[in-house]
Structures are given as structure tokens and as C-alpha cells.
Amino acid sequence: MKKIFLFLFIFVISILIFLGIQFEKKDTYDLILEIDSKKSLKQSLAILPKADSFLFKLYLKYKNGGRNIKAGYYEINGSYNIRELIDILESGKSKMFKFTIIEGSTVKNVFDKLVLENRADGENLNLALKEISSTFPYPIPNGNFEGYFYPETYLIPEKSSEKYIIETFLKEFLKKFPEEKYSDKKDFYQKLILASIIEREAAVEHEKPIMASVFYNRIEKNMNLAADSTVNFVFNYEKKRIFYKDLEVDSPYNTYKYKGLPPAPIANPTVSSVEAVYNPAKTDYLFFVTKGGGEHFFSKTYREHIDFQNKQIQEKK
């Protein structure tokens, strides 16, 4: 009897030691994990390599079934054992938040959204920009970073500093537009300005190179760009429609009033808008006007332009 008891005791101890060793064994992770409150915990954890293992399930059951795990995004980067991994998810450590910069939005839009979502302080954001300005490789006239906050969905660590958040946006821009690829920074900046206008004007991707050709053709003929988006920029894009009286606003951004490009970008453009400026379509178009559904009617003469608009008016009656 004593021998059986001793055998069982040794067996149990051996199992516990084995389990202890396995629990302490670390795996290397490099992933973003989303704990979605709308999904089952099993679904959220499925991305983890060991999520389906007996040990993982056993430890999760021991930890109250994972009920203390907090919803959100987590950057899991490094070597962790099962215990450490669950501790991270329960404590909220390495938790991240999702933040989206919409195509064509402005720096002001981005800052307002960060403040509204309690992710940053407005004054600290402006101070961070000033601090970063000395090291940024592209032109920033008067510290103006318009055009450089690349439109993308970002996952940012919770409680990040304002400087870290801004640097995250700028790093993405520099990935898309590496400074070594664009040796002529002044030329790049002029193209970025035009790309920002196209970003605001175009609703469908295939029209972007055509719009670029229209603006280049107008510049070549010494015509005003006459882009509504540049006027609306003066009004912080608060106007749903630009009226003739709005075209009288006295601003260097008013391309109806002043020839050439505005002094800086009017929004944050995407790669496709910049590529359209570098590779415009070859056309003789000088005008375009919306025809509904996001598409535009392009024309070579002002008469064609007006005739199309009059036709639209007649069809609406």
C-alpha cells in the first residue's frame, strides 16, 4: 500500500513539475491581438499559436475563464509564457487604440478628433509639432505639416505622448514617400500640394490622373486652377456647397482669385493622388464638373463645360 501511495505521490509531483515547466516555457510573439467584446473570447484568442492547447485552456479556466481580460487592441511583441500573456490581457498592459485618418482630412481635423476622443491635449499636440519640425526631412513652411499625416488606420499604444502619436503618422508618411526617393524636396512639395487638391476633388480613383492633367493644362495656359476645394479649405470644409460669393474670399488658398498653387497642401493625400500628379494622363481637358455618382464630366472648352451644366439643370426640372 505504501509503495502504491509513494508511486502516486511521485507521479503527481512529476506531473506538477512538468506542468510548471510547460507553463514557464516562453514563446516569441510579434502580433496585434484584438479582444473584441462583441465576439467570444475563444474567437478573439484564436490568433495566438497556443490558444488551442490543453495548457492554455487549463490556465485560462484557472484564471476565472478569462473574465478579467479587458477588451481592446494589444501589441504582443516579445517572449512570454502563458501566465505572462494572460497577465498582460488582464492588466491592459500594451493595450492599444485604433485611430483612423480619413483620406482628404486636414491636420486640424486629426487634432480635433484626437482631443475629442481624449487621446491627446490640443496644446501639447502643437508643442510636439514644433519639437519635431527641426528633424523632419521635407519642407514645412512656417511649421505647417499639412499633407504629411498619412491617411491610414493606426494602432497606437494607450497613453502615448502627443509626440509619439504624431511621429507615428509621420513615420507612415516617410514609409510611403522615402526621402531618398525624392531628392528634389521643393518639387516634391509642389506636387504634394497639387495631390492634396486632387484628393479633395476626386471621388473615384481612375479620375485622379485625368484631374492632374486638367490642372497641369491650366497652369501651362496661365489659367487659374479654380478648384472649389481650395476655397472650402479657407472655410475649414464646413460648406457643403461653394457659392459665387464664397469665391470672393481673399486668401492665398483661393485659386479662383490667385493663379498657381496655394502656399501649402489643403489636406492629407494618399499615394494614388501623389502618383497621379507624377504620372498625369495626357489630355487636352481644361474643365471638369461633377455629373453625379462621384464621377466628373471633363471638357476641352468652356462652351462644352457650360453646355453640360445647362443640360444637367434642364434634366432636373
Specify whether 216 is located in the same domain as 117.
no
CA–CA gap between residue 150 and residue 171 (Å, rounded)? 9
Residues 168 and 260 in one domain: no
Are residues 283 and 207 part of one domain? yes
Is 128 inside a domain boundary?
Answer: yes
Number of domains in the chain: 3
Calculate mean pLDDT across residues 216-223.
Answer: 96
> pLDDT for 118-169, tens place per residue?
999 999 999 999 999 999 999 999 999 999 999 999 999 888 999 999 999 9
For residues 97-104, give the mean pLDDT.
Answer: 95
Are 169 and 216 in a shared domain? Answer: no
In a domain? residue 1: no
Q: Is the pTM of this model over 0.85?
A: no
User: pLDDT band at residue 210, thresholds of 50, 70 and 90?
Assistant: very high
The pLDDT-based confidence of 3 (bands split at 50, 70, 90) is low
* 251, 271 contact by CB (below 8 A): no
- Tell me the residue range of the domain where 88 lies: 24-93
Domain-located, residue 19? no
Question: Quick one: 166 and 200 in the same domain?
Answer: no
- Residue where a domain stops, chosen among 133, 153, 176: 176
Whether residue 292 is contained in a domain is answered as yes
Is pLDDT above 60 for 7? no
In this structure, are 189 and 254 located in the same domain?
yes
- Tell whether 2 is covered by a domain: no
Judgement on whether residues 143 and 228 belong to the same structural domain of the protein: no
Q: Are residues 191 and 143 located together in one domain of the fold?
A: no
Q: Please provide the average confidence, as pLDDT, over all residues in the chain.
A: 89
